[in-house]
Amino acid sequence: MGKRNFALIICLIIILIWSCAHQGSTKDIRAAENGVLQQEDGTVSLKLDKAACYSDAVNPSNNTAAWNIVISKPGRFKVWLSSATKDTTNLSYTDSVRISLSDDHLIVNPACDKIVQNSGDVPYHYFRADSYMGSFYLSEPGEYKIQVISEKVIAKNNGTKKASPTDDTMMMSVILTPMTR
């Protein structure tokens, strides 16, 4: 009976270890379904058309876009706001753009820090203008929520003014890029 009990205990330990290992991968799959995953190079690209958006018809400066992100490689990230613009000298944001991640907040008036000509990300007759907004530090891997508040956040199918070809500037995305020393 001693050998049987020993074998039974070993089998239970193996099943327990296998179960725990597969439970973690299920959690990772759920996280991937609920959020934007960090790319292999550490970048997180958040397209406005993939965000959960809220538009305030009375005060558009409170329009909000939010994403859930999954960080696998923590560290310090540069935050870039990407816009499609016809005028690279003036992005024409009426108010400062507010970006929040965890308890950190960036409040910046976007400027053209990088211009990308012939970008496939923007409509014809527009340039892609990337604005450096600051940086965030994430000390641990996990799920986070990031939020952007700006009059340039336009929710799809909400009955309010939509971006049109006559708009000089349209917000396109928020990009987090890992900083290196």
Give the pLDDT band (50/70/90) at residue 34.
Answer: low
Q: What is the length of the chain?
A: 181
In this prediction the pTM is 0.76
Q: What is the pLDDT of residues 80-101, one digit of tens each?
A: 999 999 888 889 899 999 999 9
